[in-house]
Structure 1
């Protein structure tokens, strides 16, 4: 293969990958001094009008949706020989296939990753698009933008070349997908292919991530995967492996995987679409319920069934809509940390209100303002070195309504050793801006046994003030974080009193 010197205005650095329909090069943008991935239609397909249009459709879809969970399109162009190309954001941290090739991922990491993948697919489904080719090679990782080191990378969905608008994805469609991850109905040119085909793909990805036999990729072998350097099966038009259409017998999941997750993956990979979850959002909600039930055995079954919890954006059935986030003056990055699950221990005496809550076996104690309650015993998405959730608790007069109702005051308190290992309290707070709010100068105060860095935001509307605070625990080994929405008219000393009531040992 001849390596071009330039593609449009971009200098070609090296080959990233070769697939059935396209070649992807790493390019350098001299104007912005940045690297990009340039996807060029393969020469052998350049005269096929259907393939050319499919190639352009991918760029149009990505450009139209333009979401951080999908690979973003910067520009499109055409080579002198007429072949189209698309300039994409470069996934500089490789693909899921690359990582799985090195061995199984830790179970908490794999569960979190499956949740993130489902969130990306849910974006497509909300825009009326079905991907149809969800494989490890199409799950990419990209460094987070400067100034947002947490998370240190983003999970993005790539290779929408097989995706179509749902209205056009049924009836006499070309068979397309990767054996082992492709839904059975994709092998039938007369079948309706809808979001449930992607649910099947999510289930197969879950089995790959969490199964005892996860080191064996049912879709492995073949050409290089575009844009990632990983391998993928080019035989979209070949025969499927009948043994991988759906899991047979009992799923052999690794130790540490919640038992209920097996049921979720079985449902997702049902042979008939009617037996699966309707879309990625429903799959994600079921996955989170399965994980939460393992983490919250004390929570009454009635409450688990009702879906009670505090949650971040897009977190399944309890998710707070984006319009609500904007109304509350809270950012998605912030609320992603505010998912407390489980049960707290309160020092209530029969007939008297509780005065404090204790979590993490007594490690963290938070004094309750009069009339407030505690809920939760874990910081969702924040795992310690042992793989378990780190401590976290929501306190509020109505803790289960705090995120969803802007008129309800409250606070989230979390403690993280992993956060302390990678950043400072000031750096941690810098990751949590509130773009639509006015920011007060940063102040420092010692309350209780913690030296706090505090930033206040005036946001207007129903939730007029938000306070972010962080500091080290007395040993300096853990970062203590609090987000506070004070009661209206509570006075400037309310925050300091609440911080003074947070004790970590």
Structure 2
């Protein structure tokens, strides 16, 4: 589209993505003081009335769904050149595709996330809509006020009314997620087509691999041996080529996944990603600790009130309570873990027991500090949520050197400690460097003291 800075009352900030028929922008509603997503029909399709109607149909179907499990539409309008647009809620925490990019998920988290997507599909089906294109890029995550993440279905560009689905004559869907009936024009579809796609979604979340063609799907336990026979059966039943043998409804599939998740071990490490990654507990393990990175056992500091530690480059220096300084990883981090430019940047982690860090319910005291010379750390960190923890709120922080917002969680899976994190920017307006800090503490609050001690050269 031709570049514009304003659409109606919505001030455009950046492009989120483009599809075959439109572009989605992150915008700001200055009246409501809230971020929104604005989807605009591409100018090269403006003359096609059938494409225009399909574009508007998506907005109408999203509105008709009327569920908090489906992206909500707030407004609709036209640009001065006549192209339509519609305004939706902004999913700040990315997509399931981003979760997959961050690496394998724990099996209970796979079950929980797939079940939430299936609940979203069930909401569409109850509204008389079949999605026809459920896949990781079309399942979004939005941070809720309590710091958890909502799972939302989006992109109803291929969606149809169930009342008319039996007469569809065109193939639709994406390879690996497309049930056989959608690849055969004229065969008619119902909600079980979405059940197949949901099975493919769960399969990829579990194995990291898109399933093969219908009837040629590799057993998931061959790709991930820790899958139980019950989980495998649930996924493969959804992926049955014969729809009569699939789960009869998305709701039934969701119920089975929820049952299996409840029987599994508690999840202490839900994973997330960047671009406002949610569901990301134990972030330290993701961004700071690489495979094979040595833990340096520091000399006993129990007699010292404060210990000064620094990373291997000497650029990052921070002071921590002496009792925390037992183990150090000083080899840096990769900011790509939260959605910034990939690379090795200075960083460190120091704690009384780094092995306990992945478990948010464990009693551990420590600090992770990661430096970034590129991009907005604050934008990424503000989108992180920690599933299973209670969000205690945020407070502003400023010192002679740094400013930022401290966000805090507690009661993580029944644990008694707290987790605080902040993205720091230099006072005075310099864009770089920026620093991400995560602090775990079992008792007391040393957050401000630690932040005041931070030095970056």
Scaled to the shorter chain, the TM-score interval is 0.5 to 0.7
Aligned partners of 1:419, 1:187: CA distance in 2, in Å? 38
Unaligned runs of 5+ in 2: 266-356, 362-385, 394-409, 419-457
Q: Does the 8 A contact of 1:59 with 1:86 survive in 2?
A: yes
Aligned to 1:244: 213
Q: Describe how 1:72-471 pairs up with structure 2 within 5 A.
A: 72-145=72-145, 148-149=146-147, 152-211=148-207, 214=208, 216-217=209-210, 243-252=212-221, 254-291=224-261, 422-423=390-391
User: Partners in 1 of 2:20 and 2:123 — Cα distance?
Assistant: 26
Kindly report the root-mean-square deviation, in angstroms, between the aligned alpha carbons of the 2 structures.
Answer: 3.1
- After superposition, what is the alpha-carbon deviation per residue over 1:229-271, rounded to whole angstroms, capped at 9, x for unaligned? xxxxxxxxxxxxxx42344353335244332011111111111
Distance 1:476 1:181, change over 3 A: closer
Do 1:247 and 1:269's aligned partners in 2 also have CA atoms closer than 8 Å?
Answer: no
Give the number of equivalent residue pairs: 287
With over 3 angstroms needed to count, the CA separation of the structure-2 counterparts of 1:137 and 1:475, relative to structure 1, is: closer
Deviations 1:55-86 (A, max 9, x none): 11111122222211110101000112221111
Preserved CA contact (<8 Å) 2:108 2:264: no
> Are the structure 2 counterparts of residues 421 and 91 from structure 1 closer, same or farther at C-alpha, using a change threshold of 3 Å?
closer
- 1:32-43 matches, within 5 Å, as 32-43=32-43
TM superposition shift of 1:423 = 4.9
Measured after TM superposition, the shift of residue 272 of structure 1 is: 1.7
CA distance, structure 2, for counterparts of residue 166 and residue 474 of structure 1: 44
**What TM-score, normalized to structure 1?**
0.52
Contact 1:70-1:156 within 8 A present in 2 as well: yes
CA contact (8 A) 1:77 1:86 kept: yes
Partner of 2:364: none
CA drift at 1:419 = 8.6
Return the alpha-carbon distance in structure 2 between the equivalents of residues 386 and 472 of structure 1. 9
CA distance in 2, matches of 1:72, 1:254: 36
Question: What's the secondary structure of 2:40's corresponding residue?
Answer: strand
Distance 1:66 1:51 in 2: 24
List per-residue Cα deviations over 1:480-501 (Å, max 9, x = no partner). xxxxxxxxxxxxxxxxxxxxxx
Contact kept? 2:97, 2:136, Cα under 8 Å: yes
Equivalent position of 2:31 in the other structure:
31
Where does residue 379 of structure 2 map in the other structure? Answer: none
Q: Secondary structure at 1:244's aligned position in 2?
A: coil
CA gap of 1:180–1:471, structure 2 versus 1, over 3 A, is closer
Post-superposition CA distance 1:161-198 (Å, at most 9, x none): 11111011122432221111111111111111110100
Instruction: Output the CA distance in 2 between the equivalents of 1:184 and 1:74.
Output: 35
1-side partners of 2:155 and 2:48: how far apart? 19
TM-score by length of structure 2 reads 0.57
Q: Structure 1 pair 260/471, CA: closer, same or farther in 2 (3 Å)?
A: closer
SS at match of 1:3: coil
| C-alpha contact 2:109 2:261 (8 A) present in aligned 1 | no
SS of 1:161's equivalent in the other structure is coil
Deviations 1:442-499 (A, max 9, x none): xxxxxxxxxxxxxxxxxxxxxxxxxxxx999999459xxxxxxxxxxxxxxxxxxxxx
Give the 3 Å change call, closer, same or farther, for CA 420–249 of structure 1 in structure 2: closer
Residue 402 (structure 2) aligns with: none
Q: Quick one: structure 1 residues 246 and 387, their matched pair in 2 at CA, closer, same or farther if it must change by over 3 Å?
A: farther
Task: State the Cα deviation string for residues 354-375 of structure 1 (Å, max 9, x = none).
Answer: xxxxxxxxxxxxxxxxxxxxxx
Deviation at 1:124, TM superposition (A): 0.7
- CA change 1:36–1:419 in 2 (3 A) is closer
Contact conserved, 1:196 with 1:277, CA < 8 A, in 2? Answer: yes
Deviation at 1:208, TM superposition (A): 0.0
Aligned residues of 1:130 and 1:164 also touching (Cα < 8 A): yes
Partner of 1:340: none
Q: Distance in 1 between matches of 2:2 and 2:167?
A: 40
Q: Quick one: distance in 2 between partners of 1:101 and 1:88?
A: 25
Write out per-residue CA displacement over residues 195-216 of structure 1, whole angstroms, 9 at most, x where no aligned residue: 01000000100110112xx1x4
**Cα deviation 1:110-169 (Å, max 9, x = unaligned):** 221111111111111111111000010001011113xx33xx221111001111110111
Match of 1:160, SS state, is coil
Corresponding residue for residue 344 of structure 2: none
2: CA distance, partners of 1:41 / 1:475:
49
Report the CA distance shift for 1:256/1:386 in structure 2 as closer, same or farther (over 3 A): farther
Q: In structure 1, the residue corresponding to 2:220 is in which secondary structure?
A: coil
